Chains A and B, each alone.
Chain A
Amino acid sequence: MSITHYLTLAIALFSIGLIGVVLRRNLLVAFMSIELMLNGANLSFIAFSRYLGDMQGQMAAFFIVILAAAEAAVGLAIIVLLFRRQGSVQSSVFQNLKDKVGV
């Protein structure tokens, strides 16, 4: 297995995540897609770390895990809040904020 394989997997994870955020209408799925993107970055860090024989990349991966956990705490709280207000987690429900154009 060369670095290319790992990188391909990392980029695939990242792209699936990005497409998921853009296309999926369910907020929880969009949220999971963000985690997927972060994990793609994580895998890429670790693969490079191994390839370069340098520990900094692995350290970065640990910090990204922490970061993802912190984001999950706040993100899920916001989604719960929205569900309480609107009774739905479909993003199509939340379209109150937009340009109100006048003359």
Chain B
Amino acid sequence: MAEIEQNFSFSQLWHLGYPTLILVIAAFTALMTSIMRFKRSFLVTSIVSALGFFLSALGTIFQIKAEVKGLFFGLEFGLYGQVLALIIALIGLVVVLFSYRYWLDYEQEGKKEIIPETMALMLFSAVGMQLMLFAQNWIIFVLSLEVMSIALYILVGIRRYQVNSAEGALKYFLLGSVAAAIMLMGISFLYGATGSLDMMSFLKAFSLLKLPTYSAGILVKAGLLLVLIGFIFKIAAVPFHFWAPDVYEAAPMPVTGFMATGVKVAAFGAFFRILMGIPYISFDAEHNRLLLNFLGLIFILTVVVANMTALRQKSIKRVLAYSSIAHAGYLLLGVMSYIKHQGQGSSHELEQIKTMFGSLQSILLYLAVYSLLTLGAFAVLTNLSKKKDLENIEELKGLAGRQPLLAAALSVFLFALAGIPPLGGFFAKYYLFSQAIATELYLYAVIGILFSAVSLYYYLAPVVAMYFMKTEASQEQVQSEISTPFYSKLLIVGMMVLVFYVGLFPQSVLDLF
């Protein structure tokens, strides 16, 4: 293998991966400052983390501008990974900014329960996410997946004096480790079948299946299935979604926001990255159809089950959890339309490349817009959760009178998640479904559109509670809502403006990708 002959050179590593290395440095610095516990150490830690995420995002932008690409020991740096790494760095930055006040309130309670290490853990988790997107080798992939997950297990259970929080951490830990073990078993089968730990072995295994002399068919099929199951676990698609609502409910509000966006972007990005190689591998129509039908089944299950279950939820966090599951389903439709291009004849090669690029673009746009909207919703909810996380939708009653700005912002984000024009979510969804229709996935597209109409019901429930239901808020509740810091408001307004911008000028956003 070519990788083995490479010499390790630090300057090249820095040249290719400095945005991720900045995050590593920031993570260790944040760990140090949080351990020392001097006066205002949490402020310093937060500044270090925010700076780390900001510089990493900036570095990624420079790299994209300079078109830096290259291979480094099982890591492949390229435009695709860099765009998603940029999204992850920005997610981290936004989460640090809007969650600072939330953590500080815990500290001021004097409970000793504040754990300044949260920021460092968030940085470590982001490092794992970014590496996952660059991984070209299964070992690197699994290790970065675990760096991400182990940091998140701790983050979920960080309010350790609460029973629910620890229970959520346990559930996440058990199911996450089982998923990792299943995936590793699958990887070992693929390794045995193809003799390589390169991530392309996933596709190579498919093409092995069609050789008439090949006798280890079961091995390959089992390997492919196990790896796919592992991915479905991580992106939380039905039937392996059941951990998501419980874990989202147990985690502190900002961590839930971080998980709902960051993990989804990273896991989905890595999943799609493997499938991206499909057009370059000689693939026969039968296996293409097999993969399509498998993903189609998952898509239908995910969209139907997630949307139907969300209808009856009382907890806002669970509604958003099911919404994130449903959005993973819509994204799978984008993947299917990408794969479908391969199956169609290559008589119009140029056209095929163009439509394939369209699918890729639609998936990246959807991931970015979904992250923006979900983070926005969680930013508002975090500002409403002082001392105690906001649980039930009923607690939002009459918010429009008390906090007009936050109520308006939450409504905008929820409407956009439901896909109402002229907001950003509509265009992203429209583009995704139009790609599916262009590749003749009519049945799937119709199911997706129908159930996204169903989703309107549960996105509207909090809005109705905020605007049309009046109750006497308890003194405690009003107290907790009153102190929204200025910069948080600014951040939320900025995100709101961005949602409108994406919706009204979609072309200018598409040109960015």
Contacts and interface: CB of A to CB of B under 8 A. Distances in A.
A14 B160 CA distance: 32
Contacts of A27: 170
Contact of A56 (B154, B173, B178, B197): B197
B150 A70 contact: yes
A45 B187 CA distance: 9
A16 interface: no
Contact of A78 (B163, B169, B197, B246): B169
A101 B314 contact: yes
Contact count band on A: 35 or more
Interface in A2-58: 7, 10, 14, 17-18, 21, 27, 30-31, 34, 37-38, 40-41, 44-45, 47-48, 51-52, 54, 56-57
A94 B170 contact: yes
B168 A67 contact: no
B146 A70 contact: yes
Given A34-B178, A37-B178, A99-B313, A85 B188 contact: no
Contacts of B164: 96-97
Interface in A39-92: 40-41, 44-45, 47-48, 51-52, 54, 56-57, 59-60, 63-64, 67, 70-71, 74-75, 78-79, 81-82, 85-86
Contact of B174 (A14, A21, A47, A70): A21
Given A78-B173, A96-B163, A98-B246, A63 B142 contact: yes
Query: Main SS of chain B's interface residues?
Result: helix
Contacts of B312: 99, 101-103
Contact of A52 (B166, B169, B192): B192
A78 B164 CA distance: 12
Nearest to A73: B150
A76 B195 CA distance: 35
B336 to A, nearest CB: 29
Contacts of A70: 146, 150
Interface in B294-314: 309, 312-314
A11 to B, nearest CB: 8
Given A71-B146, A102-B314, A14 B185 contact: yes
A74 B153 CA distance: 8
A41 B184 contact: yes
Given A100-B314, A102-B313, A38 B150 contact: no
Contacts of A101: 312-314
B476 to A, nearest CB: 22
A101 to B, nearest CB: 4
Contacts of A82: 166-167, 170
A97 B171 contact: yes
Contact of B170 (A41, A79, A99, A102): A79
Contact of A99 (B181, B195, B318): B318
Interface of B: 138-139, 142-143, 146, 150, 153-154, 157, 160, 163-164, 166-171, 173-174, 177-178, 180-182, 184-185, 187-189, 191-192, 195-197, 245-246, 249-250, 309, 312-315, 318
26 contacts: A21-B174, A31-B174, A34-B178, A34-B181, A40-B181, A41-B181, A44-B188, A48-B188, A48-B191, A51-B192, A57-B188, A57-B191, A60-B187, A60-B191, A67-B143, A71-B173, A71-B177, A74-B150, A78-B153, A79-B170, A82-B166, A96-B164, A96-B167, A97-B171, A97-B250, A101-B314
